[in-house]
Amino acid sequence: MRQYAIITGSYWAFTLTDGALRMLVVLYFHQLGFSPLDIALLFLFYEIFGVVTNLFGGWLAARLGLATTMIAGLFLQVAALSMLLVNEAVLTVAYVMVAQALSGIAKDLNKMSAKSSVKLIAGSGEGRLYRWVAVLTGSKNALKGVGFFLGGLLLATIGFHNAILVMAVTLLITAVASVFLLDRHLGKTTFKPKFKDLWSKSSKVNWLSAARLFLFGSRDVWFVVALPVYLQLELGWSSIAVGTLLASWIVGYGVIQALSPMITGTQAGRHPDGRTAVAWGLVLACVAAVIVVGLTLDLPAEATLVGGLLLFGAVFAINSAVHSYLILSYAQADGVSLDVGFYYMSNAAGRLLGTVLSGWLYQVYGLEICLVVATGFVVLATAFSAALPRRVELLQ
């Protein structure tokens, strides 16, 4: 429990700065006159290096331990934040892309390490594993939402430079504390994994990873760039208003994730399997389609988007929580970070795809097409989930 608390605390601190940084970058560079596509490109390396980091980070964690990779992620995020403490004239697209690349590596080292640790700490009980990963993931996303709000608030009050400085100092303190508190042996394998072990040999992990790619692509294709820019440009919202809405969405998303074991019936002794992923995927596809229909019929855009966003977030949170449980259930206990790293590589690939498409589709076609693509991505995620086994088999 002590290690679980330390890991969760470190993960929370990282997530708070990551959410704030995302909102700061989107809003600040929009104010500087960057186009939606330019803003999407700022996150290109963030997502690309996230893909690479998850693949190789799982291998590194298996050899060096999960504490080492988690601490490395914290210090890398401090470095990424420090890169942005320069004169405004230096903040070109290329320069910020490099800083975001470091942040992407840091984020996924931290995330992969935290999620993998839960598998080892929770033990073999399915109910406890589901509850613990739901609490970790849900609380993380709730704090990410707080970070979204914090980013918008800090930008409006103390400015971009001071906001970055405050976050860098806070995270540095967290990183130093983690060096002394985390168990360095957690997650080390009894064997030395080779490079060929980077690729999952489990069909369950492969199908789930494919579903995860399109699930997160469906969220980011309209949420990352298109929605906040649309709210400012088309509806005239202020940066604080946009930050507050997206923050509330993420907080609610996190709360639903934390409650997902009760929502999906775990309290009655039922645990998620392939059927659960398919059922909730179909519900999410319907929600996305309803938002598209509402905009097509020229219903009030503000009400349609805000209401649709809240409903989409609630159902998406349950889908994500089910996936997070399934990957830890499918993963081998010895070398858990290898399977988890491969899975989150697909997660990062989905974010990459969604982020790039969010900027490009919105700039060329508008928000409505972003939502159409989001609906198609959910359908694909559900189709891949149909190949998952009906019952979860925990591999010890």
Separation of alpha carbons 68 and 70, rounded Å: 5
Which structural domain range is residue 232 located in? 2-385
The answer on pLDDT for 143 being more than 60 is: yes
What is residue 272's DSSP assignment? -
Separation of alpha carbons 120 and 152, rounded Å: 37
Residue type for position 191: F
Within a 13 Å sphere around the CA of 294, how many CA atoms are in the beta-carbon half? 19
Are residues 100 and 43 in contact, defined by beta-carbon separation less than 8 angstroms? Answer: yes
CA 2 from centre of chain: 25
pLDDT per residue as tens digits for the range 183-230:
766 655 555 655 555 555 678 888 999 999 999 999 999 888 888 888
String of DSSP letters for 202-261: -HHHHHHHHHHHHHHHHHHHHHTTHHHHHHHHTT---HHHHHHHHHHHHHHHHHHHHHHH
Separation of alpha carbons 105 and 177, rounded Å: 21
Is 391 inside any structural domain?
no
Is 390 inside any structural domain?
no
Is 167 inside any structural domain?
yes
| Model confidence band, residue 393 (pLDDT cutoffs 50, 70, 90) | very low
pLDDT per residue as tens digits for the range 333-345:
666 667 787 888 8
Mean pLDDT of all residues in 119-126: 63
Is 212 inside any structural domain?
yes
Mean pLDDT of all residues in 315-329: 89
Per the prediction, the chain carries an average pLDDT of: 82
State how many domains the chain has: 1
Is 271 inside any structural domain?
yes
Q: Which residue has the tokens 């019952």?
A: 391
Is 88 inside any structural domain?
yes
pTM of the predicted structure, to 2 decimals? 0.77
CATH number at residue 313: 1.20.1250.20
The answer on pLDDT for 121 being more than 80 is: no
Is 393 inside any structural domain?
no
pLDDT per residue as tens digits for the range 268-295:
556 788 899 999 999 999 999 999 999 8
Is 169 inside any structural domain?
yes
